[in-house]
Amino acid sequence: MKKYFPRYLVGIMASLVAACAGTPSAPERIVVSDDGLSSLALPGHWGRQTSLNSSATQQVADETREAYLVVITEEDDSVSPDGLAAYAKSVVQSIAENLQGARVEDPRNITINQQQARQTKISGSMGDVDITYLSTVVVGKSGYYHLIAWTLSDYWGMNAGLLKSITNSFQELAVPQPRKKRVELTFNWPSNIDATVSYSSTEDKDGKNKSLKVAYDMKVAPKGEYYLVQSLNLKSSFSASGGGEQEKMFTELLSSLAANNPEYLVSSSGEFITAESMDQFMATIDEIIENAAARLKDQEVMEKFKEVIRPMVTKEFFLTQMTEEWDSKVGRWSDAVLLEGETFVSNSSYYVPSLGEETYPMIHTTQLDGLVPCTRENRQYECVRIKEEQHVRSEKMRKAMQTYLRGMARLNVKVKDMHIVKTTLITTEKDTLLPHVVTTETVTTVDLEIQGSRKTTRNRENVEMIYSYKRTSGDPL
């Protein structure tokens, strides 16, 4: 089945969706398809996507509203309006067959920019998620164009007008443009992997430095229909300016976590499924917090420490972090399509653990940074280098940080501005998505006013992960 829905379909907070609700805005820019045959007019808050459907020549979305649309071109110079009904029926059937309890409404014959089209609404469930699709087939000179728009069924009332508006903006170009060079990525891990991973991070916060180095073995093996991923034999070293008790506590924490590090399962299509042994892991976390708090001799300080730390170390938090870490390095790129010389811009959401359960608006850019050779087990493979940037700056986040600092410091702190910029470079094999090098730089800048005095704090964190593959064998699952 072609992927007509994103894996992260239920990941965005409902409150953020509600905040974005309103009358659909007018289209603001024209986006041409990868094959150069057609175009769509997109509102400003919509962006191009990379992994909704690898067969599509257009992939667009507004993730904050859970609204998505792809265009699939069926090139055929001999198509005619006479075959429209039969072709439209076949593609609707393909969607409906992959839904539970599919409900297909009667098709409508419509006209889009003077071209005949046939449109059908389909609803149904995929797992425990209810989805509504709008399938539109347009007859063109170069073939059939299949436009598939979808959203959560609960959001259909909010998104239907906008999805129909973008669908109606579709146009076959009178003069085709040059085709764009596509680079297609595929998750195709061998069933058995033995690798070593080196992780290093440095953090500089207003002149105070921390450094962490970790090395471990990564082992992957089949477990039923899934890949079981394990991190074993972890060794670490930590240093901080000032050292002393902080360095000792952090080293002990890493040792405790390493002994109970959760294994996790991923599917044959590259989706993070779940982590195993989470209850044992969380029991270790609770023990670490209690032991750390016990070192604080002041009872009030001890309780404050636990009050600040506990909301940041929930089971949900760790599962979210593990999922995001997997997706950023591997899962997000499964069946992704990147275009040479093009930057993909989208609106998404960002999670700051210390600020609670809320998420904050984020501008996310993705681009192909180049094709590079890489080596695995003394053999050369073609790798891609992907560059991502995330920019987070909002009034909502500024207020949340101000509330957090006032509660923690018990001072009349005013946060005047807060800005997060995260830049990631991923070097990974194009045909397997086995990562080789991942580097990340996160810069957090906060402008403060404390008792009438202005101060700017800047925290810079650099992380590098290097994968060395000792043995990879077995057919993909």
**What is the pairing mode between strands 108-112 and 58-62?**
unpaired
Taking 90 as the threshold, does the pLDDT of residue 75 lie above it? no
For tokens 């805005």, name the residue. 25
- pTM of structure: 0.81
14-18, 59-63, 193-197, 275-279 — which is least confidently predicted? 14-18
- In the chain, what are the domains? 14-180 (3.40.1000.10), 192-473 (2.30.230)
For tokens 């830049």, name the residue. 423
Confidence of residue 98 (pLDDT cuts 50, 70, 90): very high
- Predicted local confidence at residue 254, as pLDDT: 59
Which position has the higher pLDDT, 35 or 307? 35
Confidence of residue 162 (pLDDT cuts 50, 70, 90): very high
**How do residues 366-407 score in pLDDT, each as one tens digit?**
999 999 999 999 999 999 999 999 999 999 999 988 888 887
Taking 80 as the threshold, does the pLDDT of residue 169 lie above it? yes
Confidence of residue 212 (pLDDT cuts 50, 70, 90): confident
Q: Cβ(332)–Cβ(351) under 8 Å? A: no
Taking 50 as the threshold, does the pLDDT of residue 41 lie above it? yes
Q: Cβ(306)–Cβ(312) under 8 Å? A: no
Rounded (10°) CA dihedral 7, 8, 10, 15:
-160
Confidence of residue 16 (pLDDT cuts 50, 70, 90): very low
The amino acid that residue 55 corresponds to is S
- Predicted local confidence at residue 410, as pLDDT: 67
Radius of gyration of the chain (CA): 25
Which position has the higher pLDDT, 306 or 47? 47
CA distance 348 to 13: 10
Q: Cβ(183)–Cβ(340) under 8 Å? A: yes
Confidence of residue 287 (pLDDT cuts 50, 70, 90): confident
Residue 88 host element (H or E): helix 84-96
For tokens 């940074």, name the residue. 369
Strand intervals (E) in 169-295: 171-172, 182-184, 192-205, 208-223, 226-240, 264-266, 272-275
- Predicted local confidence at residue 94, as pLDDT: 95
The amino acid that residue 382 corresponds to is E
**How do residues 407-424 score in pLDDT, each as one tens digit?**
776 678 899 999 999 999
Q: What is the mean pLDDT of residues 453-477?
A: 93
